[in-house]
Each structure stands twice: as structure tokens, then as C-alpha cells.
A = this chain, B = another copy of it.
């Protein structure tokens, strides 16, 4: 969800700007982890509203809508680390992807319990041990790093080109 559907970097930058007035480009954050780049990241992630107000990643609405018509689709989101995010993430999905049902939502801590044929994610920790096909969605934290055994995509258009 974060980094594939929800534009969490836009939200990090917004919270950072509100706190310190700092303005940084996404390009300047490339190749380093989120917690390395955003010193107060845990404060942001535990803030009420952080997840509820995250913008939608470009192309993801149409992308999910199309995939949902051809695949058995689930949105699996790491959420239990930030308990307040559970209801915020569910409300966010209901607002921005109203065609998805509660049956298609999973909020977890570790994605190691998830099975499926294809996983799309921006984090190696989620993809590396998944048994099916793995698609790495480019985000600043994974930019320029070796793709490993995953198929890298840079946009939702590229996901659809692969899967439809």
C-alpha cells in the first residue's frame, strides 16, 4: 500500500516541511533508507492523520481497477507497528479505492505469512522471501540498488504492461 498505492514520500516531505521548513527533492533522497533520510520519521508515522491524508500514487487507481477485474487481488499493508494506522488505512482504501471490498484487505506486521502468485512491493524485505513472482516498485529508498531476482517497475503503466 505505502509506496505502491499511497504516496508516503509526499507525506514525509510535507510533515518535514511543516516541522522544519526544509524543502528537499525526491532525487536528493535516492538510494538511502527512509529512516536514514527522515530523522523524525517515527514521529511522523505515529502522528494522527499521517496515513489518512496520504496522497494517491499516480496511475494506481486505474491500475488497481484494471488488475482487480482480471486477478484475485489483495491489498496487504504493514500496519500493526503503528496501531492508529489500522483504521486510517482502511478508511483511506474505502475512500480512494471504493470498488475494493473488506475481503481484499490485509493489515499485518510481517508479510512473511502472505502467499500468492504475484507480489508488488517497494521493499526488498517483503519481496525477498515471497514464493511467487515479485515486482519491485521504484521508490527513492530502493533507487539504484540491485533489483535482485525481482522485476523492477517505475510506474503503474509498467505494471499494467507486465500483467495485462
Contacts and interface: CB of A to CB of B under 8 A. Distances in A.
A146 to B, nearest CB: 26
How would you classify the secondary structure of chain A's contact residues: helix, strand, loop or mixed? mixed
B106 A109 contact: yes
Interface residues of A, number: 25
Contacts of A103: 80-81, 109-110
A80 B107 contact: yes
A49 interface: no
Contacts of A104: 109-110
B80 A102 contact: yes
A25 interface: no
Given A76-B113, A113-B74, A114-B114, A81 B106 contact: no
Question: Copy number of this protein in the oligomer?
Answer: 2
Interface in A85-107: 86-87, 90-91, 101-107
A83 interface: yes
A87 B90 contact: no
Nearest to A79: B107
Nearest to A84: B87
A160 interface: no
A137 to B, nearest CB: 19
10 contacts: A76-B113, A80-B103, A80-B107, A84-B87, A87-B87, A102-B109, A105-B109, A106-B107, A106-B108, A113-B115
